[in-house]
Amino acid sequence: MAMQEATYRDALRMALSDAMSFDDSVIVMGEEVGRYGGAYGVTKDLIAEFGPERVIDTPISEAAIVGTAVGAAMTGLRPVAELMYVDFIGMTMDQLANQAAKIRYMFGGQIGVPMVLRTQGGTGRSAGAQHSQSLEAFVMHTPGLRLAMPATVDDAYHLLRQAMTQPDPVVFIEHKSLYTMKAPLNPNAEPVGWGQANVLREGDDLVMVTYSRQVHYALAAAQTLQTDHDISAAVVDLRTLNPLDFETIRPLVENAGKAMVISEAVLTCGVAAELAARITEECFDFLEDPVVRVAGEDIPISVSPLLENNSVPTPELIIETAKKMFV
């Protein structure tokens, strides 16, 4: 397939279709993934293409979905299980954290769990406190689980294709506000390597380290900082949080001497805290100032669009925070 315009949602669907065509062991399972086409339309028409034996509508039980996927993966299939919201991941923590993440270790490396758990998180749809969380720290905290969070249409396709070839369980978190984003996509292009961060903007004054939707906010903020304030900011899209590509971050921070970590998840004990600590530990001698965290408020997300929007980092907040680093 040649270069084409695609939405983030389309790219995910293409990745699933291409992987299922290439590998008969790949199956899709979850609530409403078949006849309905998925809660966000990602699996639309897959059941017509591959049939109900490979695109499986499940009961409304997150524990059953993930538990079945774990068993299927252990017996030779490559299941892609879907959770409608990452907020429901707590209902799967025994299956995911106690089983999928640990089976390779419990069996001395004789067997793995090559499954992907697709889900979505983040704010932007006024879905309320129980459907708007960013819980990637739950996953990042659990050894044995891989974690991918694509920010772009290109990564929606290529990261998902790569996730479906991994020998161990991958949690793949899509941002609910990105599904309709459009960009050129070339499925045949050589992708950025699995576990490798992508430097989307070069800069010598400040390094912004982020992932998922905040990548776009950081890029917008970096442009304004350059144009209006003569501050040159690099933007790093982590793409995967486990594996974490610190080798890309280190030389950029050593060069700039200032670093900011941006995350939509809550500030306390979140991904931003871990990244800030890691940068501080490994780049301490090069830092001119402490690493700054820009993250979500430590509150449940409001259903009010105004309150929701301002409970997580915005380009304006990133700009104002960056300006203070140069006072």
Q: What is the pLDDT along the chain (327 residues), one digit of tens a residue?
A: 578 999 999 999 999 999 999 999 999 999 999 999 999 999 999 999 999 999 999 999 999 999 999 999 999 999 999 999 999 999 999 999 999 999 999 999 999 999 999 999 999 999 999 999 999 999 999 999 999 999 999 999 999 999 999 999 999 999 999 999 999 999 999 999 999 999 999 999 999 999 999 999 999 999 999 999 999 999 999 999 999 999 999 999 999 999 999 999 999 999 999 999 999 999 999 999 999 999 999 999 999 999 999 999 999 999 999 999 999
Q: Which of 131, 158, 175, 216 is catalytic?
A: 131
Question: Which of 91, 176, 82, 173 is CA-nearest to residue 126?
Answer: 176
Question: Do the domains spanning 4-185 and 198-324 agree at the CATH topology level?
Answer: yes
Question: Which of 174, 239, 215 is CA-nearest to residue 41?
Answer: 174
Predicted local distance difference test score (pLDDT) of residue 164: 98
Q: How far apart are CA 264 and CA 288, in angstroms?
A: 25
Domain residue ranges in the chain:
4-185, 198-324
Predicted local distance difference test score (pLDDT) of residue 29: 98
CATH pick for 198-324 out of 3.40.50.920, 3.10.350.10, 3.30.200.20, 2.40.128.720:
3.40.50.920
Specify the pTM: 0.97
Predicted local distance difference test score (pLDDT) of residue 3: 80
Predicted local distance difference test score (pLDDT) of residue 1: 59
In angstroms, the first-to-last Cα distance of the chain is: 50
For every residue of 3-58, DSSP letters joined together read -EEEEHHHHHHHHHHHHHHH-TTEEEEETT-SSS--TTSTTTTHHHHH-TTTEEE-
Write phi, then psi, for 282 (nearest 5 degrees).
-95, -15
Which residues are within 8 A (CB) of 125 and not within 5 positions of it... i.e. 6 or more apart?
A: 131, 132, 176, 177
Sole residue written with tokens 């509508």: 57
**Contact criterion met (CB below 8 Å) for 249 and 218:** no
Question: Which of 30, 10, 42 is CA-nearest to residue 72?
Answer: 30
Q: What is the maximal distance between C-alpha atoms in the chain?
A: 61
For every residue of 236-302, DSSP letters joined together read EE--EEES--HHHHHHHHHHHS-EEEEEEEESTTSHHHHHHHHHHHHHGGG-SSPPEEEEE-SSPPP
Annotated active-site residue 131? The verdict is yes
Kindly indicate whether the domain formed by 4-185 is annotated with CATH number 3.30.1360.70: no
